[in-house]
Structure 1
Amino acid sequence: MSARTPAPDPGISEAAQRALADALAGRPLVSAERFCSSLRTLYAGPGPLTRARPALAIGCYPGWAQAGPHAVLAAEDRTGVRGPRQRHAWTDAVDAEAARLLSTLPTGPVIAAWYSTGRLRRWAGPGGTVAAIDGALRTQVEDKAAFDALLQAAGVPQRMRIPCVRIDAALPTLRYLRQRVGTRRLVVQAGADSGGRGTVFVDSGADLAAAACMPGPYKVAAFVEGWSSNTTVLSVPDGSGSVAVYVDRPSHKAIGIREAGIGPGKSAGNDWSRPWPARAAADLVDAAVRIGAYLWAEHRIAGLFGLDAILTPDGRAVLNEINCRNQGATEVSAVNQQLRGLPPFAAAHLTALLGGRVDWLPDAEEFNAGTLTAATAPGVGPFYLKLRHRGAGPVRLSGLCGSGVYRLGSSGVLSWVRPGAHPGDADADLGEVLLANLPAEHVVCLTSAELGTAEALTTGPGSPFAAPHQLSAFGAALLDALTPHLTPCPPTPTEVTPS
């Protein structure tokens, strides 16, 4: 573990461990997420919370030795194929076996997931619990067409709201929408999907026709230049009928980097090492607190949620989306809490969702004041860069030593350094990265397959991003260094053509 990631106060770690154990009440913790390494930042990081290591992980991609639960059920172990369709259909692939395994547990499990579904409730069984927001409520809150109304109801200032119009019927003409919104380029959003799905950038009539293929209602908003951003927020019931809202530092998120295999509107990863302007950071923290209080008062929502924002070139923050659940950024953003000597928010999230008492966090106002200090000053922060197979044919990843810490040398070659499972295990300023969730050598990776993530700490020089839609020299060199390890292979009988 890097010296840059301090261990939390032992007393705080013990209190968080005890609170989570009390909330679990002897029930086995099971994770059900795409990555079977989910929650590794809690149990493989500084001041490890051993009770957060799942007894069983059910997912698409298996973990590895340093980031493994006690048992794993991974769809990829069965199919030997990694691709876009596999990552969306993994629950179907493991459904029967997951239900069987969970039914053999001595007590009903606690299933940690992004949001609750009928399938997860069936897996949990009559004595089990799904520790996640209800799926129907999540869909309601994350409805992109309703986002501006949510901001208005929460009292978020107009200066943080992007000009937009809600369309409940068929989309009108491009000219009309441009007049209503006030910009030539538009962003049309619909539904409550994730990963950039449900968002279309509109520059032409053909783009508008593509957007109209999504089922409405629609939010049609002005396109705003700038850095996209993720912010992780935690709401904890205070025992007096309200919630304390804790706001993590905002990231700089790169979007739509074609050379990284990332399409328009989709995230290439996040970097928390870049400072934010003071006014924008203060506005974002204030808005997050308002939204957390509103979600509790209106829907009794507690635990983790995420806010997507855009940091404009003139230093303003405007909000564009809410994700009322864990996110792809949750695992690595947890390092921000550890850098401040605290266990990750995810421990409090699980405890709160199970009705337990979270008594180890500092005062929320004090914490959020510290967030402003951390967000606006140069310093160390974590990042992750998504790794995708950018080629046209199936490949296998060969010649590496599996997930762990590697060094990118001056010759552009990746060299194994040591085992690892936590972003703090690697120092990008020294050329190191943790390559996480890599496929085994026998796995066939289809076009656009997720090859894993590159994660590390940096003070800035090791950031993988140079601009909102551009890799840094380090980020580009890292992808180039991975390419020689992608060995073309013939299709297999079990291969499924990606959608």
Structure 2
Amino acid sequence: MDDARTETVHRELLTALAGRPLVTVDRYGTTLRTCYTGPAPIEALRPALSIGCYSTWEPAMPGMVVAAEDRTQVRSVAERQGWLRRVRHDAARHLVKLDRPPVLATWCTGVQLRELAGPGGTVAAIDAGVRDMIEARHLFDDLLRAAGVPAVARIRCVPADRLPGLAELRRSVGTERVVVQAGGPSGGRGTVIVSGDEDMGRAVRLLGPYRVAAFVEGWPCAVTVLGVPNDAGGLDVYVDRPSHGTTRVTEPNTACDGHDWSRPWPAPAAALLIECAERVALWAWRRYGVAGLFTLDALLTPSERVYLSGIKWRHHDSPEVAGVSQQLIGVPPFVLGHLAVMLGARVTWLADPQEFNHISLLRATQRGGPFSVRVRLTHEGPMRLVAGQGPGVYHLDHADRLRWKRPGAHPSDAHVDQGEFLLADLPGPDIVCHPGADVATIEGVTEGAVEPFHGPGRASPFTRRVATAVGELFQPCDP
């Protein structure tokens, strides 16, 4: 990114903030670190205060930090789902120390967040009611039709207020295996793939209304989209290079999920996905007047067809790394534009949207890019970190043991194709980690020599080796 564009971004961000301190509210305390560390850093995006679940580290440290695990000394599935209510009092005490009402950068408004922002404070996020309507899974096919998404990209599905028997579900979507989703926001209350009566027992425990869809065999994918209002009263839509994702990889000594922007796409599928993303963004602008950042989920089949599977009107599941894809072509991370849009400010540093999206399509067909793999604890009992030197750049020695190289906070800090990688979000030695807890994120930028995944639910040898080595940093402890 050239100096002139960096200066423009920095100036426009300061104008949008208008002297107000920036505060992030996210599970990861360093959620914006790829914006203020690494190449062409935007220092104004380093938060004055970070409110999160996990601790931070140098050189990604915000001004002040409130982390739930510093209070509870625990990492677990329950903690990562309910961390905000555990820190609200500590967060309020830190917010009082700020000299002006804050701007809270988060992904959705809500009563708790408005209370945290306080009088005069701003929650820079989409309205919760609008987001719930857009993300409602039982309305997803209606949304796609209203947006003009081509039928070839839509999965056959039906909405249901109640679940009939399995035979009727199969007839309604035309497949032996069906997917039943609770009708709440995407990622909210559960998805069950039904192959037989045992699965139906789990499906009926979901809360309706439901989306019942044909099962499609494919690689989970996602694409990040930024809508920016223009001077003509319309919307400019920027679509990033799509990623390949994976969920619930469970192999011996390896439990992980993540996203990979380095694997090439077939051009027709990528072009269709980008077109669909543009249509959805324009529909949301016309229907609700909303712009900013969102993620469109999809499935890429073995026959290279693409089907849309969901929408999240918020950032990608790997927000720290998603922006690196934009940085690699000299563009600031989309989250900067999103924050400006949420604050009602202009964005002048983005190029022509059609030109940008054409570049995204070209890059999608090429090998190389960033990746992010979230590693979870596979041990049966509580564990504590007893080795390593915390987050930073590591490599594996000849015995596949982790060896510290140097400090780091940006995926490009590691020379992945030379055997290095960034380990982010490692817990401190005083944190008790329970089964299923997030214990590290493997990050990097590869030219294609390293692959994090070999399939939708299959980790690559590289990922298995690193995840196993991460697990060996932990030893059993008393809870």
Q: Any idea what the Cα deviations from partners look like across 1:32-62, whole Å, max 9, x if unmatched? A: 1011111001001211011100000011101
Quote how far apart the aligned CAs of 1:409 are: 2.7
Please give the secondary structure, in 1, of the residue aligned with 2:475. Answer: strand
For 1:408 and 1:164, how far apart are their aligned partners in 2?
46
For 1:72 and 1:93, how far apart are their aligned partners in 2?
14
For 2:8 and 2:25, how far apart are their aligned partners in 1?
26
Contact 2:295 2:312 in 1 (8 A): yes
Quote how far apart the aligned CAs of 1:462 are: 1.4
Please give the secondary structure, in 1, of the residue aligned with 2:257. Answer: strand
Q: Which residue pairs with 1:111 in the alignment?
A: 104
Quote how far apart the aligned CAs of 1:194 are: 5.3
Q: Any idea what the Cα deviations from partners look like across 1:154-176, whole Å, max 9, x if unmatched? A: 000000000111102x1011101
Contact 1:260 1:268 in 2 (8 A): no
TM-score (norm 1): 0.94
Please, what is the CA RMSD of the aligned residues? 1.4
Match of 1:387 among 375, 379, 387: 375
Where does 1:329-340 land on structure 2 (aligned, <5 Å)? 329-340=318-329
Q: Which residue pairs with 2:363 in the alignment?
A: 374
Q: Which residue pairs with 2:222 in the alignment?
A: 230
Where does 1:181-200 land on structure 2 (aligned, <5 Å)? 181-193=173-185, 195=187, 197-200=189-192
Contact 2:31 2:319 in 1 (8 A): no
Quote how far apart the aligned CAs of 1:206 are: 2.2
- After superposition, the Cα gap between the structure-2 partners of 1:483 and 1:105, relative to the gap in structure 1 and judged at 3 Å, is closer
Contact 2:220 2:244 in 1 (8 A): yes
Q: 4+ residue stretches of structure 1 with deviation over 6 A?
A: 260-263
- After superposition, the Cα gap between the structure-2 partners of 1:291 and 1:261, relative to the gap in structure 1 and judged at 3 Å, is farther
For 1:96 and 1:196, how far apart are their aligned partners in 2?
26
Letter in 2 for 1:275: P
Quote how far apart the aligned CAs of 1:103 are: 3.0
Match of 1:302 among 259, 280, 291: 291
Q: Which residue pairs with 1:75 in the alignment?
A: 68
- After superposition, the Cα gap between the structure-2 partners of 1:474 and 1:318, relative to the gap in structure 1 and judged at 3 Å, is same
Q: Any idea what the Cα deviations from partners look like across 1:393-435, whole Å, max 9, x if unmatched? A: 0001121000000012332111111110011111322221110
Contact 1:428 1:463 in 2 (8 A): no
Please list every run of 5 or more consecutive structure 2 residues that lacks an aligned counterpart in the other structure: none
Match of 2:120 among 113, 118, 127: 127
Q: Any idea what the Cα deviations from partners look like across 1:360-390, whole Å, max 9, x if unmatched? A: 0000000000001100122x20001111110
Contact 1:174 1:205 in 2 (8 A): yes
For 1:386 and 1:349, how far apart are their aligned partners in 2?
24
Letter in 1 for 2:400: G
Quote how far apart the aligned CAs of 1:134 are: 1.1
Match of 2:24 among 22, 26, 31: 31
For 1:60 and 1:262, how far apart are their aligned partners in 2?
23
Q: Which residue pairs with 1:452 in the alignment?
A: 440
For 1:91 and 1:329, how far apart are their aligned partners in 2?
19
- After superposition, the Cα gap between the structure-2 partners of 1:183 and 1:94, relative to the gap in structure 1 and judged at 3 Å, is same
Q: Which residue pairs with 1:494 in the alignment?
A: none
- After superposition, the Cα gap between the structure-2 partners of 1:80 and 1:200, relative to the gap in structure 1 and judged at 3 Å, is same
Match of 1:433 among 415, 418, 421: 421
Single out whichever of 110-119 and 254-263 deviates more from structure 2: 254-263
- After superposition, the Cα gap between the structure-2 partners of 1:156 and 1:261, relative to the gap in structure 1 and judged at 3 Å, is farther
Contact 2:137 2:210 in 1 (8 A): yes
Where does 1:4-23 land on structure 2 (aligned, <5 Å)? 8-23=1-16
Quote how far apart the aligned CAs of 1:260 are: 7.2
Contact 1:412 1:481 in 2 (8 A): yes
Please give the secondary structure, in 2, of the residue aligned with 1:236. Answer: strand
Contact 2:222 2:297 in 1 (8 A): yes
Please list every run of 5 or more consecutive structure 1 residues that lacks an aligned counterpart in the other structure: 1-7, 492-499
Q: Which residue pairs with 1:496 in the alignment?
A: none
For 1:225 and 1:296, how far apart are their aligned partners in 2?
32
Contact 2:173 2:212 in 1 (8 A): yes
Contact 2:166 2:197 in 1 (8 A): yes
Where does 1:82-231 land on structure 2 (aligned, <5 Å)? 82-168=75-161, 170-193=162-185, 195=187, 197-231=189-223
Quote how far apart the aligned CAs of 1:195 are: 4.9
- After superposition, the Cα gap between the structure-2 partners of 1:463 and 1:195, relative to the gap in structure 1 and judged at 3 Å, is farther
Q: Which residue pairs with 2:267 in the alignment?
A: 278
Q: Which residue pairs with 2:472 in the alignment?
A: 484
Letter in 1 for 2:210: Y
Letter in 2 for 1:363: D
Letter in 1 for 2:23: V
Where does 1:243-322 land on structure 2 (aligned, <5 Å)? 243-259=235-251, 268-322=257-311
Q: Which residue pairs with 2:44 in the alignment?
A: 51
Quote how far apart the aligned CAs of 1:262 are: 8.3
Q: Report sequence identity in percent.
A: 49
- After superposition, the Cα gap between the structure-2 partners of 1:276 and 1:382, relative to the gap in structure 1 and judged at 3 Å, is same
Quote how far apart the aligned CAs of 1:261 are: 7.9
For 1:103 and 1:426, how far apart are their aligned partners in 2?
38
Size of the aligned set, in residue pairs, is 479
Please give the secondary structure, in 2, of the residue aligned with 1:321. Answer: strand
Contact 2:186 2:310 in 1 (8 A): no
Please give the secondary structure, in 1, of the residue aligned with 2:251. Answer: helix
Letter in 2 for 1:460: G
Quote how far apart the aligned CAs of 1:31 are: 0.2
Single out whichever of 64-73 and 192-201 deviates more from structure 2: 192-201
Letter in 1 for 2:377: H
Please give the secondary structure, in 1, of the residue aligned with 2:126. Answer: strand
Q: Which residue pairs with 1:351 in the alignment?
A: 340
Q: Which residue pairs with 1:466 in the alignment?
A: 454
For 2:288 and 2:86, how far apart are their aligned partners in 1?
33
Contact 2:393 2:414 in 1 (8 A): yes
Q: Which residue pairs with 2:233 in the alignment?
A: 241
For 1:105 and 1:429, how far apart are their aligned partners in 2?
43
For 2:330 and 2:199, how far apart are their aligned partners in 1?
47
Quote how far apart the aligned CAs of 1:147 are: 0.6
Q: Which residue pairs with 1:325 in the alignment?
A: 314
